[in-house]
Chains A and B, each alone.
Chain A
Amino acid sequence: MSFKLPHDLGGEAAGPVDRSEHASAFWEQRVDAIRELTRAAKLDGEPLIRVDEMRRTIEGFGTEAYEGLSYYEKWIRAMTSLLLEKGVITTEELGNKLAEIDARESGT
């Protein structure tokens, strides 16, 4: 039984690094802004979300998600997971908000 996670790939064949630059989408800038807020905010005197917690959560997604999700997709998933874990938001609130946005976007 090995606890080797998908990020720990030093020395393995992993293909070339994609060095192409691209403009960030608006939603990605919003995710970045939310990340800054969760870094600065405090919960019980501790930073609300530390970088170490982000990494731990992202590395725990499993190989398929770790390799398949984009940078900011990983960030928003990790922040959502940590905010649920810490009781800052509830699954019910998240579900209701997503339904509200779906309804707004579809114009119903």
Chain B
Amino acid sequence: MSFAAGEHVRVRAMFPMGHVRTPFYVRGKAGVIERVVGRFDNPEQLAYGRSGDKKMLYRVRFAQRDVFPDTPSANDTIDVEIYEHWLEKA
């Protein structure tokens, strides 16, 4: 699935074994595509010595309060770079 800047997305709440680069604290959280970063080799495969599995990488912006409820300011945000297979439309 591909996304454009400004689209609302949700990080898939998956918890598999493996070399996952999607932090636990954003899994299941909703955010907005801040930018399309580009296509890169999937680190989940590179970690086991296999290259060639290219995936689109997105920078996703979250309201910090959505991620950590005790955040003092409603304006604070967190940006996390997340691969396409971890995102779905929100």
Contact = CB atoms under 8 A, between A and B. Distances in A.
A13 B47 CA distance: 28
A71 interface: no
A46 B45 CA distance: 13
Judged by DSSP, the binding face of B is: loop
Contacts of B18: 3
A3 B17 contact: yes
In the complex, which range does the number of interface residues on chain A fall in?
A: 10 to 19
Contacts, number: 36
Nearest to A4: B24
Interface string A62-75: 00000000000000
Contact of B68 (A11, A46, A55, A86): A11
A52 B19 contact: yes
A108 interface: no
Interface of B: 15-20, 23-25, 43, 46-49, 51, 67-68
Interface of A: 2-4, 8, 10-11, 46, 50, 52-53, 55-56, 59, 86
24 contacts: A3-B15, A3-B16, A8-B23, A10-B24, A10-B25, A11-B25, A11-B67, A11-B68, A46-B49, A46-B51, A50-B46, A50-B47, A50-B49, A52-B19, A52-B43, A52-B46, A52-B47, A53-B46, A53-B47, A53-B48, A56-B19, A56-B47, A56-B48, A86-B49
